[in-house]
Structure 1
C-alpha cells in the first residue's frame, strides 16, 4: 500500500474503528461529522485517494460502500503485535505486524487495539522498558498527562503528552532525564496521535 497522508490515515483509522465497534463501515456523512467537516466533498476526495492507494475499495451506489482491502484484525484472533515502525508508514502496516497475541480483555481497564514493542529506555521511570509490550487503544485524541503513541516528523514515539492551550504548544515528555522533551508548535506542524497506552506487558511474549 502506498504511504498515506496524516488525514488519510486518520480517516482509515476511523473506518477501522467503526468496523470493529459497529460491525459496518461509516457513511460519508458520519465521517464528515466525526472530523468536524461541513462539506462531504473533501471526505469523498480523501476516500478516493485511499482507494487509489489500495487501502479501501469504494462500492458504487451504497450508503456504506467502503470495503477495507486489508481486513481489520478480528479481536477474537488476537491483538496484532507491532515491531519496528518505519518512518512515514502507518503503525499497523502489514509489514510491521510480527504476529497476533491472544490476551484476555480483563488484562486492561480500557479496550486495547494492538500491542507495540517498545524500543529504547526513554520511558524507563514510568515503568516502560526496552522490549516491553504496550497495549494501545487507537484514538486520534488524548488528554493532558496520558502516555501516547505520537507521530512527529514521520517518526512514531512513546511519550507523555502535555498540552498548553494558551501557546498552542504540545510537549512530548520522556520519563528519563537522559532524554530531551520534544516540543511541537501546533500552529506550524501537525502532531498525530496514533493511540493512548492502556497497559504494559513485561517482555517475554
Structure 2
C-alpha cells in the first residue's frame, strides 16, 4: 500500500474516529479536521483511498465509509498524527469528552505532547499567563481523575471547566492561578468538582 503523506493522515483520522466513536466521520468533520473549504477536497482523498483498496465507499449514504482492514490491525499502526476532539461547552454533570461537548476533531503531531493527550480545550482568560498559557491557546489534556500536587490540571468547578495548578496537601485541595491578579479557587464540599485531566502541552496559532 503506497499512500501519500496526506492520504495516510486521512486514513489515520478515519481509523481513530471509528475507534473513538464507533462511526466514520461525516464530510463536514473531515473538512473541519483538515481545513478543506469544500467537500471536493475530502471526496478526492476518500476516492484515492478507495482506489488503493484501503476503504470502501457507499455512494449517497451519510458516513458511508468502511475500512477494509480490521481495527485490531489499525490499532498497532505507528502513525505520527492524532485526531484529537476539540472540547467546547461542557454541560453541568457531563464529562469533558461527552458527545455534546465535542466541537470537531483536529489532526496534530503526536510527538508534540507528553504524555499522549486525549482532547484539546480552548483557553479562556489570562489566569495562567505566568506558565505561558494564554487566552485562545488550545491546551492538550490527558483524561484522568487523578493528579499529583503541583501538576497543571483541567478541572470541573460548578458549571465551568478551568485550567489551574493543583495544590493538594493535608487533604486540602486548591486550584492556583498563575497570575497574581486572580485568587485561588477553593472548591466547596457541596460543589460539583472533579479533575477531568492533566495538562500535556498546547497549540498556539501564529
TM-score category (smaller protein): 0.5 to 0.7
Is 1:191 the counterpart of 2:193 in the alignment?
Answer: yes
Shift of 1:156: 1.4
Rg: which structure is higher?
A: 2
* 1:93-112 superposed matches below 5 A: 93-112=98-117
| Equivalent-residue separation in structure 1 for 2:84 and 2:151 (angstroms) | 21
Shift of 1:77: 6.6
Computed over aligned residues only, the root mean square deviation of the Cα atoms, in angstroms, reads 2.3
* 1:115-130 superposed matches below 5 A: 115-130=120-135
Secondary structure in 2 aligned to 1:200? Answer: strand
| Equivalent-residue separation in structure 1 for 2:194 and 2:167 (angstroms) | 14
| Equivalent-residue separation in structure 1 for 2:183 and 2:121 (angstroms) | 22
Number of equivalences: 129
Map of 2:177 onto structure 1: 174
Contact kept in structure 1, 2:82 and 2:109, CA below 8 Å: no
Map of 1:132 onto structure 2: 137
TM-score (norm 1): 0.56
Shift of 1:92: 1.9
| Equivalent-residue separation in structure 2 for 1:169 and 1:189 (angstroms) | 15
Contact kept in structure 2, 1:113 and 1:138, CA below 8 Å: yes
| Equivalent-residue separation in structure 2 for 1:185 and 1:99 (angstroms) | 33
Shift of 1:138: 0.5
Contact kept in structure 2, 1:150 and 1:157, CA below 8 Å: yes
| Equivalent-residue separation in structure 1 for 2:133 and 2:163 (angstroms) | 10
Shift of 1:114: 0.5
Structure 1 gaps, min length 5: 1-18, 21-74
| Equivalent-residue separation in structure 2 for 1:116 and 1:126 (angstroms) | 16
| Equivalent-residue separation in structure 2 for 1:199 and 1:77 (angstroms) | 14
Secondary structure in 2 aligned to 1:128? Answer: coil
